[in-house]
Amino acid sequence: TTTNLEFMKIFTLWANNQPYDLDGPTFAKMSKKCGKLMSEGKTQGDLKLRVRNDTITAFIAACQLQPFKVTKSNAFELQAAASEWEVATLSKFVKDYINSKKLTPLGDVDPVAQLLKNCAKKNYLETDIIAVANIVNQALDDPRFLEAPPEMIFQILQLADQNEINSQQLVNFVIT
């Protein structure tokens, strides 16, 4: 039989609806949120924000004390993930990177408009899918969302946090 100690060695982080197994004690040392969950006997948790795959890879590596790469394209997502999971050392490291590179967030971008603009150019970007998945309920109420290619809508709905999707909004969208 598995002892409780062995059971607590693995912490499963769910990100973009995918499970990632991490060394629990190491993650708990890096992340206050993980430490709190594990002290409550919980061995899994969700990264609420939908992020690019390279961001997840970097976040997990950093939280496992392995080499990771911060880039101009993942810095703000990595900062948000570090903040959500209360990883102070990573948060400071990324903040220093952002300041040293003088990076600025994209600001108030309209994710649905950006998606449609890129789709019109046949330029299908993971970042657009993620951005709309993060505001899925707003997108379902946005009449422009119907103009997106069906395969993009499918990918967005698949990536979105299934527990956050308003089922009535989804039904209304589907029957439109």
pLDDT, tens digit, for every residue of 33-92? 999 999 999 999 999 999 999 999 999 999 999 999 999 989 999 999 999 999 999 999
pLDDT value at position 53?
92
Residue type, 73: S
Beta-sheet pairing, 44-47 with 10-15? parallel
CA 80 – CA 48 distance, rounded (Å): 10
Q: Do the beta carbons of residue 45 and residue 34 sit within 8 Å?
A: yes
Q: Do the beta carbons of residue 55 and residue 74 sit within 8 Å?
A: yes
CA 28 – CA 11 distance, rounded (Å): 9
pLDDT value at position 6?
55
What's the pLDDT band for 3 if we cut at 50, 70, 90?
very low
pLDDT tens profile 13-38: 999 999 999 999 999 999 999 999 99
Closest CA to 172 of 146, 134, 152: 146
